[in-house]
Amino acid sequence: MTSRLFQPLTLPAADGVGLRLRNRAFVAPMCQYSVDAEDGVPTDWHLVHLGSFATGGFGLVVTEATAVEARGRISPRDVGLHDDAQQAAHARIVEFVHSQGAAAGVQLAHAGGKASTYPSLPGMPVATVPVAERGWSTVSAADGPVLPPLDPATALDEPGITAVVEAFADSARRADEAGYDVVQIHAAHGYLLHQFLSPLTNTRTDGYGGDERGRTRLVHEVVAAVRKVWPAHKPLGIRISGTDWVPGGWDVAASARLVRALADEHGVSWVDVSSGGLGHGATIPVGPGYQVPLAAHLTDALTGTDVVVSAVGLIDHATQAETILATGQAHAVSVGRAALRNPHWATQAAADLGVPAADRPYAPQYWRAGW
């Protein structure tokens, strides 16, 4: 039996060729809150962290949420990609990831009203970091706290929106120069773009709010601006929350309409389907593969497009991933915490799924591991 997970996959691109990945196991973006990260510059930690996933056999390694401007960081030690020092540090990581046969993706992000928070580390409060402690004031779709108890954000005005769009495009240009193969625009988990998408947080009455067309306008503008600077031979992806898990919130039908429009109008060719992030009493059925039905809905709804759909969320085991792909629920899987526990998750999965030894992805230095 041939493993689906270890069948190569092409992420389509506007040049008609696209990016060939050695397999369908992706690393999900994961903030490191690394204490050594100053001014958004990735460090040796990020090199070893991301590099180990490349030596560990993954087809695509995606960075943590990487801020397009300093106030877009979730927390003060997040990395960014809006200046030369950051770009140079990213380039070093990309070079190593490539040397191990993996592709490198960058998740471009703006945290909006969920910026300037304490890192998600043991003992840290869920709260906004005060300006006196190197925090900063935040922006969002509307005035007020995006998620209590965070401090109130200020609604972006139109020049502010234009600046955000330009920041995404500028970071995408830098991502290309740093050598990244794929950009993933972060429109999930209650961060800025999701704050605009969701009726829970977007109460604007101008052209960036109101109906679905208004609420999706910023995402369209960001994607269009990134597309202009992102080379035609490189795929462009997006991460969405497939649902807010709240009645009257953003939902999977709206997600499918959005991704189809982004594919048709701007050539978006990859969607990673996560969920939640805006609170509002969401009831989330957390359990193994709990977001896979959302990916399956999108896979189905996007039939006839060339969009690659990846599923994510408690996909911990090789056979589980294989089943998701074999049953057509998604084209790829993104693995988060299981990859932290075992950076060689993908190599181990290849062994578990019976991929012939010669075809298993691993670094030659590790041949004695018995893979």
Smallest separation, CB 328 to ligand FNR (Å): 20
- Provide the CA 70 distance to its chain's centre, in angstroms: 18
Smallest separation, CB 322 to ligand FNR (Å): 16
Q: Which is nearer to ligand FNR, 134 or 337 (CB)?
A: 337
Residue ranges that bind ligand FNR, judged by CB under 6 A: 28-31, 64-65, 107, 186, 188-189, 239, 274, 312-315, 335-338
Smallest separation, CB 64 to ligand FNR (Å): 4
Q: Which is nearer to ligand FNR, 116 or 209 (CB)?
A: 116
Strand extents, DSSP E, the chain: 9-11, 19-21, 25-27, 60-67, 103-109, 139-140, 154-155, 182-187, 236-241, 270-274, 308-312, 332-335
What span, in angstroms and rounded, lies between the C-alpha atoms of 24 and 113? 33
Smallest separation, CB 229 to ligand FNR (Å): 22
Longest dimension (CA), the chain: 63
Active site residue 290: no
The closest of 291, 305, 289, 222 to 257, measured between CA atoms, is: 305
Q: Which of 118, 191, 208, 362 is catalytic?
A: 191
Smallest separation, CB 211 to ligand FNR (Å): 27
Q: What's the half-sphere exposure (Cβ side, CA atoms, 13 Å) at 349?
A: 33
Q: Which is nearer to ligand FNR, 65 or 282 (CB)?
A: 65
3-state secondary structure of 134: coil
Residue 278 burial (10 A CB sphere; 0-12, 13-18, 19+) = buried
Smallest separation, CB 47 to ligand FNR (Å): 17
Q: Which is nearer to ligand FNR, 63 or 204 (CB)?
A: 63
Q: List all residues 6 or more positions away from 125 whose beta carbon is below 8 Å from its beta carbon.
A: 118
Q: Are 245 and 283 in contact (CB under 8 A)?
A: yes
Residue whose pair of structure tokens reads 């041949």 in the numeric block: 367
User: Nearest-CB residue to ligand FNR?
Assistant: 336
Q: Which is nearer to ligand FNR, 121 or 232 (CB)?
A: 121
Integer angstrom CA distances of residue 324 from 4, 5, 12, 334, 363? 9, 9, 21, 12, 27
Residue 211 burial (10 A CB sphere; 0-12, 13-18, 19+) = exposed
The catalytic site residues sit at 191
